[in-house]
Chain A
């Protein structure tokens, strides 16, 4: 690599949209009997993928091969698993396992050496049980039969890996692999997210897909909330000013009568 390429491009951020998370399905009786660990109730896959989904794919995201900038993804599973640290050096960056309980998966993304970046660690709560609306009265954890009928559980988080002032060579590599853009509008169910409980209905009925509408919708929610807060703030400020005036009047009459 020439020294000219080891120059950082200043004032430039380049990011790559990724998703990380898991999909889980309930095992049926036959499958469970086939396992060496019959107490396992679910089969799950935890993965790091590109955000956009390939057309008609059976998985969430993964339209692009991320190995052009990710060298290795390490999934650190619960200690009860045999060799809990799983290094995945080539795509797809995912681990499939069976299990019975939810736990926190540590995901460590190592970038290619050209990036000059250290590995980045993130966490994902492995989700096995179907999403329920908190406070809806439904049991947090429906029985397995019901859960099985509800289909696979998806728990995915969109995020953007931001490279700040990348090296020219790394930038060239990234630019050579533009990410597939997310579809503008909703074509399939959208992935459920706890930050948007209202999306539960929209998340049902098939393999979900991330789309730009989700971003717009969230922006609108945030904007509406901000407007509400500012309106509230104005109201409270008016109250405050009024009360201050009242207090002032009282203090005045206090000092006068003293």
Chain B
């Protein structure tokens, strides 16, 4: 035994055993079952348990055993788990690399790699040339640099610190992190705002809200943090001292005020006009005035509160501007629905509209939006393919008219995009022809050479003749050959076929 047991200490100090006076019923029973053979007959158990240290020899059993939490059964009924070194494929990888890891024996080898799902792809928006010129022009940024920025954001999954770190646009102005973020988010915002949106308005404004970036605020915040960090120890000490001083002054002020109030109260009593005097004389002006005051306050508070409570949350107000006014009580909404009334939010200055500006009665379907005349046939065609008539609705209600309008808008945007694709296609075709003609220009210098190699110099004279027509005339064959050589060097990557063959021939 290393030291005295707890029971020894207790007996020395004449303390009652803590477990015996108020033992839990279950504990008591357990000790009894253990102790039963030792308990003398005829002795009440309470007395027996009070007798002395002999009654509590199982201190360890009492304290340790029942009070400990049951050990969690890890890994199931004590069976040992076998782990195996196995190779696996990561579904998120495109290169199909096989790595190995330890897995539990018997795990399904075909199971998908559980961490593959965490490889999320950030979808960075892209924009077309047309969208750039229409929406995204910015004097501080060129399209190339914006492209570069978007490529970096895509590459680094929108981790702007890394983007900023790697940002190295050739001949570009140095960009701060805020510049980069500001440009990126403003571009995204403009794109989202101007593209047709498939979901509902709430989703759109939510996305827009997630794309907000206040450059000014962000830089002020950072500047402030930096200045906070750059304080010298002296400054910090001074600041703290000033703070303590301020607190002290406030405290003095409070104390002074309290003393003054105390003095006024004792000297003048109720006439001091102090607000916190408890007027013992009930029903006198003080009490009733304060009562009226609270009444007024309450009523005012009620008035303030009702419009707030009528609108469910602040967020809807910001999302949907006309909502607060349109959001009437259910009763008036039902009234409006019954009588087919639609309320419009008036701009405050439009109250004095004259007779001439009055919108006369109309049939709703006659106000259906007409697509722009130039694109109208193609829009009609697009809608026709989808089985929608762009001029007629079965039920031209307000909602359906609005739906048709947004549909026509989307169709117009689609037609516009297709037109642009056609234009770019045409440009590509032109560029291809130009490229081809350029390479064939190079080839015209090359192919005869290749032919020479095949003919083994037989038709060299004829080739010279042919070339005289195709290449700039008025030069000697020798000079032309010189020109040819220099050309083959400069256009080495455009004329891959001619190059090696020619060289071979030269080597002969």
A contacts, CB < 8 Å to B: 8, 10-17, 111, 115, 117-118, 120, 122, 157-165, 174-175, 178-179, 181, 193-199, 210, 214-215, 218-219, 221-233, 236-241, 243-244, 246-247, 250-251, 253-254, 257-258
Contact = CB atoms under 8 A, between A and B. Distances in A.
A253 B360 CA distance: 62
A240 B424 CA distance: 7
B387 A241 contact: no
B403 A111 contact: no
A117 B361 contact: yes
Nearest to B126: A241
B53 interface: no
A13 B341 contact: yes
9 contacts: A10-B351, A13-B344, A181-B338, A195-B393, A222-B403, A224-B386, A230-B410, A244-B129, A254-B431
Contact of B344 (A12, A17, A117, A219): A12
Contacts of A243: 421, 424-425, 428
Contacts of A231: 198
B31 interface: no
B414 interface: yes
B14 interface: no
B387 A247 contact: no
Interface in B127-179: 127-130
Q: Which 3 A-B pairs have the closest CB atoms?
A: A164-B359, A215-B395, A195-B389
Contacts of B418: 236
Contacts of A253: 435, 494
Nearest to B432: A250
Contact of B494 (A229, A247, A257): A257
A221 B388 contact: yes
A14 B404 CA distance: 21
B413 to A, nearest CB: 6
B486 to A, nearest CB: 14
Contacts of B343: 11-13
B121 to A, nearest CB: 15
Interface stretch (B362-370, B452-460, B462-470): B362-370
Contacts of A246: 428
Interface string B394-438: 111111100110110011011001101100110110011011001
Contacts of A227: 198
Contacts of A250: 428, 431-432, 435
B448 to A, nearest CB: 20
A168 B128 CA distance: 52
Contact of B392 (A175, A194, A214, A238): A194
A158 B394 contact: yes
Contacts of B358: 8, 164-165
B383 interface: yes
B128 A237 contact: yes
Interface of B: 126-130, 195-198, 338-346, 350-351, 353, 358-366, 382-383, 386-389, 392-400, 403-404, 406-407, 410-411, 413-414, 417-418, 420-421, 424-425, 427-428, 431-432, 434-435, 438, 490-491, 494
B342 A225 contact: no
Given A195-B389, A221-B388, A15 B364 contact: yes
B363 A257 contact: no
Contacts, number: 193
Contacts of A197: 387
B395 A232 contact: no
B386 A163 contact: no
Contacts of A181: 338
Given A195-B394, A229-B410, A115 B399 contact: no
Contacts of B396: 158-160
Nearest to A158: B395
A122 B127 CA distance: 45
A226 B406 contact: yes
Contacts of B350: 10
A11 B353 CA distance: 11
B345 A11 contact: yes
B363 A161 contact: yes
Contacts of A17: 340
A160 B364 contact: yes
Contacts of B435: 250, 253-254, 257
Contacts of A210: 395
A225 B386 contact: yes
Select the residue from A175, A219, A240, A241 with max chain B CB neighbours within 10 A.
A240
A257 B491 contact: yes
Contact of A218 (B394, B411, B432): B394
A227 B424 CA distance: 26
B129 A178 contact: no
Nearest to B491: A257
Contacts of A232: 414
Nearest to A14: B341
Contacts of B340: 14-17, 160, 178-179
Nearest to A118: B360
Given A231-B198, A233-B414, A162 B424 contact: no
Given A222-B407, A240-B424, A196 B394 contact: yes
B394 A214 contact: yes
B292 to A, nearest CB: 37
A231 B414 CA distance: 10
B196 A14 contact: no
Contacts of B406: 226
Contacts of B417: 233, 236-237, 240
Contacts of B398: 160
A223 B410 CA distance: 11
A116 to B, nearest CB: 9
Contacts of B428: 243, 246-247, 250
Contacts of B404: 222
B79 to A, nearest CB: 53
Given A120-B362, A164-B359, A165-B358, 12 more contacts: A8-B358, A161-B364, A164-B360, A178-B340, A218-B394, A230-B198, A231-B198, A233-B417, A237-B417, A239-B421, A240-B130, A241-B128
Contacts of B434: 254
Contacts of B407: 222, 225-226, 229
A109 to B, nearest CB: 9
Contacts of A178: 338-340
Contact of B388 (A11, A120, A222): A222
B429 to A, nearest CB: 10
A244 B386 CA distance: 28
A223 B403 contact: yes
Nearest to B417: A236
Given A122-B366, A161-B363, A195 B127 contact: no
A162 B387 contact: no
A200 to B, nearest CB: 12
A64 B400 CA distance: 24
